[in-house]
Each structure stands twice: as C-alpha cells, then as structure tokens.
Structure 1
Amino acid sequence: MLFNSHLFIYLFLPVVLMLFFQIGKRGGQKPATLWLIAASLAFYAYWKSAYLLLLIASITFNYAVGTWMGREFAGQTPQAKLLLGVSVAANLGLLAYYKYTDFFLASTNAIWGTGFALPNIVLPLAISFFTFNQIAYLVDAYQGKVEEYDFFNYCLFIVFFPHLIAGPIVHHRDIIPQFNKFNFSVDSACVGLGLTIFSAGLFKKVVFADSIAAYATPVFAAASMGVELTAAEAWLGALAYTLQLYFDFSGYSDMAVGLALLFGIRFPWNFDAPYKAASIIDFWRRWHITLSQFLRDYLYIPLGGNRKGPARRFVNLMITMLLGGLWHGANWTFVAWGALHGFYIVLNHLWNDLQRRRGGARSPLAPGIGTAVTFVAVVAGWVIFRCDSLAAAGTMFKSMAGMHAANAAAGLFPHLGFADPDWVPLLSLAGLLVICWWTPSLKSLVERYEKDPPPAEGWSLRWRPSGGWAVCVGVIAWLALMSLARPTEFLYYQF
C-alpha cells in the first residue's frame, strides 16, 4: 500500500490510528501491539499476499535464533559464533535467491555462452530492508546487546508499517523499548509534529519528485535506446533524476518518521540536506543515513575498518561500497555505481591526508568549491545508478560531454518533444536546486525545536505547535492532497 494513495490517507491510516488508541486505552499495551502487527501485515499483504508467509517465516526464524543465542549461549561462545554464521548466511541466501538469481544466470549466459533459462523471480517487497534489520538483530544478540526477547514486540519491530517497505533501517535497542512505553493519551504536540513531517514528505513526493520525473524519464528512456542526445537534454535528464531521487526517497523517509510519531514512536532521520555536503564523505553522512551506519557497523568495521593501515582501509572501503551498490539492485550498473563511490571516498581520504600534512589555513572558498565538486560527482554517479545498462550510461556521459551531434535549430531539447517551452524545465530545475542548497532542512527545524523550543509568542522559523505553523502545514497538506491523482510508487520500492 502506498503512503501517497487515497486508500492509505483517507481509510487505512485513520482507522489504524483510531483503533490503536481505543484498544490501548481499554486493553493496554499487548492488545494495541497485536493490533499494529495485524494492521502492518495487512498493509504488506495488500501488495501480494503470497509473500506474507515468507515475511512471517523470516521473522519466526530470526527471532528463534536470536533468542537461542541470547539465552542459551550467553556471550560470544564458539557455538554462538557458529549459529550466528549459519543464520546470517541463511538470511543472505534468501536475499540472494530472490534478488540475484536472474542476474547471476543472465551474467553467466552472457560471459560463458551458456543457455540457462531465467526463472524471472519476482522480488518480494521490502526484503532488503527487513533482512538488514534482522541481521543487525542477530549480531546484537550474539554480542549480548539484546535486553528483551518478547516475540510480539520483535514482530512489531520488523513489520511496523511506517518503516517496513523502505526504511529507515532501525535497531531493536532503539525501537522496542519505545513499544513498552506506548502512551494512549493523544499528545497534541507529538501528533502535530508527526502531521507536519508527514505532510512535508508527501509534498516532496507528489509535488516535487513526481513533477520533475517527467523530465528525467524520457531522457533515460532515449539513452537506453541509443539515442544521441544533445548536451542540454542529457544534463536535463541527469539533474532531473538527481532531484527526483532525492525528493522521492527523502519524502518517503520523512513520511515514515511522521507516521511513527503519530503513534509516539521516534525513528532516526535518514537525510540531512545531502546535496549541501562539502565532500563525498560528508555526503554519505547525510544521504540514507541509516544504511550508511549499517554498512559501517556491520561490514566496514568487521572487515577491519581503518585499524590495519591505510592500504587495508582503502580495500575495506571499496568492498563496503561495492556490496552497498550491489545491495541496491541486481545489475552491473549498481556494482559500477558502488565502485565509483568507493573510488570517490578513497580519493577524499587521500586528499584529507594531504591537507593534514600540508597544514595551513583553508581558503574561504573551499567549502563552496567542495560542495560544487561533490554535487557534480554525485550527479555522475546517479547517471549510472539510473541507467538500465552500462551502454546506456556511456551514451548519457557522451551526450553530457557534448560528443554527439546536435540540431541546435530545433531548440535545447529536440529529441524529447516537450509541450512546454524550453524555459519551463530549466526553471523547475533551478527552483528545486535552490530548495536543496539554500533552504533549511526539515530535520534542522525539528531538532532545533526539540533542543531549544522557541517562545510561545513571536515569530520563529523553528517548528512549534502554533497557529502559524498549523496554517502553513495545512496549506502544504492541501496542495499535496490536491496533487494526488494516480499514485506512483516510491523509487526505493524496487530495492
């Protein structure tokens, strides 16, 4: 079920929320938990009920193994280590079967000339996210970090519908204790903040992301067919997709945070103005924050991190980013995208090391130059990420470099046939780039309110439960709801 659908907004969410508070007031925490589990499973099954059993089986298996390690093999014993290895391998094996079988067979056929038939396996929705959540749980159970083994709380931790499909990736130690402190009295400030964040995320998706997609989709479709585009067309498509992906996924993540707040649950933020980053290292601290933290904690550090010298650190970074790229999808483009970002990060570390050895004051222009260089590097990466083949990516890069002949007399975008004048897509790009670069992030406004609430009277940009903010959020929500036509899937659903 899509967050940006009439069914979800006008029926599912109000019913689930109302009954949650009513059941909690009358029956307490356990019945309310069971209700949220049932609602979340229905939310998932709305897409394809056949995979509901797979989700339930995965939850049952991982809970049983985690409980066994935590209770029977307390401490990092050889038996627990073996059990951890087998269970993690089982999770990764399940993910690999559904996500990479067709990719492996197709690659084998292409490289070796074999004729394996492709089973065309349908990827279960959310399998990447609920697999990573559960692997983190198993590792923490092995390390003795799990303090509670309640089955129903564990189920809700995995299936809670705000984060089930596309994150954020959350830790049991951060979320399960909150389930034990459900407050069934409506907190107006919490609900107001939740509705603010949800409305902002919905607006990002249906107004910004879906509108700019109209300029990205035809460009990449043309490139996939080998069309030689003008430089203006190629850059339009690359920048449009760069903005579409940001507003689509950050919009989803904001909606997830806002929805959880309606139930009194606080999720971690997943974005912090990543296109303002002054380096690629900084970018990965701001983009898809929970995935970056997962890869750092459960892959990069176990590989040795930076503890075994610079050369080994760079190898570990490349492995981490390669696997992070492959996690996003079964295509060589994702592998190439991960390798490119690994190369970027290695260069960034080498540059930082050189700057430290040289010492001296930095130029006041350095942050601006760093942001510009980082943004262009990220755009180049998104081109590979979006293309359906490396050949299409090559076509895009040649077009962006002006290496293809262009019919200048036909306008800036001769191959795309836009009904709008050329200045309309350019103005759209400029407006969204201004929002990305020069407006405060939603995260910063909310965190400033929570750390230092502004006075009740007077004007303040920080969020607060006030009439002014209520009007502002109401207008944003109304514009978003008026833009709901045929709901489009979120881009990260495919991962």
Structure 2
Amino acid sequence: MLFNSFGFLFLYLPAVLAGYFLLGRVHARWAAAWLAAASLFFYGYWDVRFLPLLLASICGNYCAGLLIARAHGPARKRRLCGALCANLLLLAYYKYANFFAAALMEPGADWRGWDIVLPIGISFFTFTQIAFLVDCYRGEVRDGNFIHYMLFVSYFPHLVAGPVLHHKEMMPQFADPDNARPRSANFAVGLSIFVVGLAKKVLLADTLAPLAAPVFAAGAHPQLVEAWTGVLAYSFQLYFDFSGYSDMAIGLSLLFGVRLPLNFNSPYKARNISEFWRRWHMTLSRFLRDYLYIALGGNRAGRARRYANLMATMVLGGLWHGAGWTFVAWGAMHGGYLVLHQGWLRWRGAAASAPAWWGAPLTFLAVMLAWVVFRAPDLATAGDLLGALAGANGVSLPRALQGVAAPLAQLGMHPEFKGLRWMELDGPGLPVLLLSAVLAFAAPNTQEIFCHYQPCIERIFRTMPGRAWRPSPGWGLALAALFISCVFNMNRVSEFLYFQF
C-alpha cells in the first residue's frame, strides 16, 4: 500500500485515524495496540506471506532484548552477539544469498540463482532492531512494553523506507496518553507537510522518471546531451522521491501525535561530502556512525585506521542498499570521497572547512557521478554512461529534438540528431528538471518552511521571517490546490525508489 495511492488516502488512513482516536478515549494502550495492528495490516497488504516473518523478527528480538538486559558479564555480550548474528543471517539470506553465491561461482558457470523474494522493508526493520539490541546491551532501554515495541518496529509511516528509529526517542511518545487525543495543530501541520511531500513525489519525481530510465538501460549508449539529461533527471528524481517520502512520513506520524526524527535536510546544498552525509538519509548515517564506524574503532587508532574504517563503513553502507557490485562500487566511491575530504582538511587545516563558492557544485558533481554507478544495472553500463558524460559516445543532439532542426538551419546551424529514439524530451520533463534544480539548490526545505511548529523531534532551524508556514487562508488554498493537482496525477502511481533497498 503506497502513500501516493487512492486506497491509502481515502480508505486506510481515515479508518486508522478514526480507530486510533476513538480507542484513545478509552486508554492510550488500546490506541497503541490498534495502531500496531493497523501497521501490521499495512505491511501484510503488500504480501501476507511475509507478515509471519516480520512478526517472528519482532518477537524474537523482543525476547533477545529482555535476555540481554537481564544478563551480566560475558554472558551479556554472548547473547548480544548471538542475536546480532541471527538478524544478519536473516538479512543475508533474503537479500544477499544470490549475490554471495554468484560471487563464489567459477567464471562462466551457468547458474541462474535461487528464487528468493526480497521482503519489502527488511533492511529497515532489521537495522531498527539491531539498534534496539545494542541499546539493551548498553542499558539504555527503559520501556519494556511489548505492544509499544511492536509498534516501534512496525509503525507504518517508517516501516518500509525509514527513518531508522531509536528505541529511546519513540517509546515515550507511544506511551504518552496525550498523543492519543486529536489536536487541530497536529492535523494542520501534519497534513500540510504530507501534501508537500506528496507533491514532491507525484509532480516532480514521477515526472522526471521518463527522462532518466532510457539512459540507464543496458546497451543504451546515450549521446552527450542525453547522458547529462538522464543523469541529472535521476539525481533529482531520487532526491525528490526520497525527500517526498521523508516529508510524508513525518506528516503522517504527526497526525497521530508522534514526531519522527529528521531524515532529509537539503543535501544538495552541502558544501562538502561530510556535510552531504549529515543531510542525506540522516538516520542511516547516524546508525552507520554509532553502530559501525565507532564500533570499528572510529578515529581512535590513528589516521590510517580512521581512513580504513571510513572505507569499510561506506562499502558496507553501499551493500546495505542492495546486493550488487554497483552498490559496492557506489559505497567505495563515497568512502574515497570521505577519505579525500579528511585528507584535505588535514592538509589545509581549519581554513579548508570555511565556505567556498566551489564547495557545493563540486560536492554535487561528485554525488551525481556516484549516482550513475548506484542506478546502473551493472558496472559495464555505469562505465559506458560515465564515458558518455565526457562525450565518448558522441556529442550530437537527441533525436527527440529534431523539431528544432528547421529554426537552427535558418540560423546557419546544421547539427546531427542521433541517439535514443525513445527518450521523451517534448513533454513536461525538461521544465520540471529545471524547476527541480531551482527548488533543490535555492528554495527553503520543508523543515525551514514549518520551523515555527517543530514538526520533528529536534528543532534545529531558526525562525525565518517571511518564509515560515502560518495557518492562513492563503496557505490553505495553495495546499488544497497542490493536493488536487496530485490527485489528478495519481493515475500513474509508482513505488518509492527506496522501497527496493
């Protein structure tokens, strides 16, 4: 069930909200149980066969957490290691079994792989529970209520694409009886944020998809202009797809009185690669830092070990996104970027961290080139597309622009029109691509617009007079018009890109 579908908007969400607040008038625990049951239905609606897997994971990790918390000495660490191995083995089977088996096969061997269906959201609910187990080991878990724990893992706004939650920031909210009472401010802000996120997905990201898909097809060999158009389109498609999901998750959660952590903060405005990772998928970056990078030793064992830890963390982070060499290469590229940035800071000192006009465009270029490897179906296609960006496949204009041949001829120009026949350049894609760039680089983000109302757990933005949202007829009409535009464009409903990770 997708956030950008009619069934979710007009059936599921109203029914869940009504049940939640009606039961909240009886007892907050009943409301939490209803929300947990509704979240399990949300997951099972995709494929009910995998609902027992999610329930088994929840029950197993809850029991493991209790056992870890009650143990002492070496037994505590052994129980933690056993529980972590069980989670990682489950993830490895469903997500990486075919990848590792293929990697171990002899070159040229005829093997088509096992027929394993990847359960949606398994990476997110596994990492969420790994963080819970480590917190149990550290003695940081206070609420042991099973209903709250089930809701913490299965909570539908975050279940299939994040954010990766921490136990300590969510459990008090589920236990707070005030959150089970409807509040007009939560509905006003939550619905407004949701509509903004829906527009990012439906009006921007989905419109850019037809520009991006053709150039990433195996054997496409795009020309220079097509390659740049497609790669830029995918860079902004992924940006607004994930930004839209993050906004929609925050807005939906706020309807239930629950505040999710920030997960997206204008990453294309970052002036260096370290800042990019503090802004992109913020909760995953936090998880990789707290539970992997620091666990490997962080920066405590010298400069060489620090660089090795950065590389290992990013390669594993790339592999988390998918079982393929393209994801490994993408993680290695970002690991290399981070190592180069740390070396630059060491060489130039504090002056290197000062704002510079070239920092943001250089960071965006590096991220965009890495997206080529991330999106490509294989490394050969990625290499071909990277070469195309440099003109290796020719520099003629796309066939889709042949309509401008006559005006150019009158000006004395006679360019060639070659390349991909199926690339759509005469629709809304190019204007939306330009608009997307302006919004990503120059416009205030959702948190800045709604800064007065703290839509997230932490208020990290200062008030911005003239930009911030206010409950007013003007804003109401604008958001209503935006919602209607989304509804009329939802005939081409598509999944969120991060669902596959």
TM-score (norm 1): 0.93
Contact 2:398 2:420 in 1 (8 A): no
Unaligned stretches of 5+ residues in structure 2? 402-416
Match of 1:485 in 2: 491
Contact 1:3 1:9 in 2 (8 A): yes
The one-letter amino acid of 2:358's match is I
Which shifted more, 228-237 or 321-330? 228-237
Q: Distance in 2 between matches of 1:150 and 1:377?
A: 45
Match of 1:141 in 2: 136
Q: Distance in 1 between matches of 2:398 and 2:170?
A: 59
Match of 1:51 in 2: 50
Residues 356-435 of structure 1 mapped to structure 2, 5 A cutoff: 356=349, 367-408=356-397, 410=399, 411=401, 414-418=419-423, 420-421=425-426, 425-435=429-439
Match of 2:85 in 1: 89
Match of 2:181 in 1: 185
Match of 2:102 in 1: 106
User: How far did 1:484 drift?
Assistant: 0.9
User: How far did 1:449 drift?
Assistant: 4.3
Residues 60-75 of structure 1 mapped to structure 2, 5 A cutoff: 60-70=59-69, 72-73=70-71
Deviations 1:46-94 (A, max 9, x none): 1110110000000000000101111x215xx210100000100110000
Match of 1:277 in 2: 270
The one-letter amino acid of 1:415's match is L
Match of 1:176 in 2: 171
User: How far did 1:384 drift?
Assistant: 0.3
* CA gap 1:461/1:176 in 2 versus in 1, 3 angstroms: same
**Are residue 344 (structure 1) and residue 337 (structure 2) matched?**
yes
Match of 2:18 in 1: 18
Deviations 1:460-480 (A, max 9, x none): 321232333222221221211
User: Once the two structures are aligned, what percentage of the paired residues are identical?
Assistant: 47
**Are residue 328 (structure 1) and residue 332 (structure 2) matched?**
no
Q: How many residue pairs align between the two structures?
A: 479
Q: Distance in 2 between matches of 1:135 and 1:28?
A: 30
Deviations 1:142-189 (A, max 9, x none): 000001111111000001111111111111100010011132332111
Match of 2:407 in 1: none
User: How far did 1:277 drift?
Assistant: 0.4
Which shifted more, 481-490 or 145-154? 481-490
Contact 1:232 1:413 in 2 (8 A): no
Match of 2:449 in 1: 445
Deviations 1:280-337 (A, max 9, x none): 0010000000000000000000111111111110000000000000000001000000
Given the alignment, which residue of 462, 468, 475 partners 1:462? 468
Match of 2:5 in 1: 5
Q: Distance in 2 between matches of 1:204 and 1:198?
A: 10
* CA gap 1:361/1:5 in 2 versus in 1, 3 angstroms: closer
Deviations 1:379-416 (A, max 9, x none): 00000000010000011011111012354495467414
Q: Distance in 2 between matches of 1:283 and 1:38?
A: 37
The one-letter amino acid of 1:178's match is Q
Q: Secondary structure at the match of 2:319?
A: helix
Contact 1:229 1:415 in 2 (8 A): yes
Match of 1:32 in 2: 31
Q: Distance in 1 between matches of 2:495 and 2:353?
A: 48
User: How far did 1:117 drift?
Assistant: 5.3
Match of 1:208 in 2: 204
The one-letter amino acid of 1:378's match is V
Q: Distance in 2 between matches of 1:448 and 1:346?
A: 38
The one-letter amino acid of 2:113's match is L
Match of 2:283 in 1: 290
Contact 2:160 2:499 in 1 (8 A): yes
The one-letter amino acid of 2:166's match is H
Which shifted more, 227-236 or 318-327? 227-236
**Are residue 151 (structure 1) and residue 156 (structure 2) matched?**
no
Q: CA RMSD in A?
A: 2.0
Q: Distance in 1 between matches of 2:82 and 2:46?
A: 30
Deviations 1:361-388 (A, max 9, x none): 96xxx53200000000000000000001
The one-letter amino acid of 2:498's match is Y
Q: Distance in 2 between matches of 1:54 and 1:360?
A: 49
Match of 1:230 in 2: 223
User: How far did 1:260 drift?
Assistant: 0.5
Contact 1:274 1:286 in 2 (8 A): yes
Q: Secondary structure at the match of 1:163?
A: coil
Unaligned stretches of 5+ residues in structure 1? none
Contact 1:322 1:339 in 2 (8 A): yes
* CA gap 1:360/1:192 in 2 versus in 1, 3 angstroms: closer
* CA gap 1:299/1:404 in 2 versus in 1, 3 angstroms: same
TM-score (norm 2): 0.92
Contact 1:29 1:180 in 2 (8 A): yes
Q: Secondary structure at the match of 2:114?
A: coil
The one-letter amino acid of 2:57's match is S
Which shifted more, 204-213 or 33-42? 33-42
Match of 1:242 in 2: 235
User: How far did 1:112 drift?
Assistant: 4.3
Q: Distance in 2 between matches of 1:413 and 1:203?
A: 34
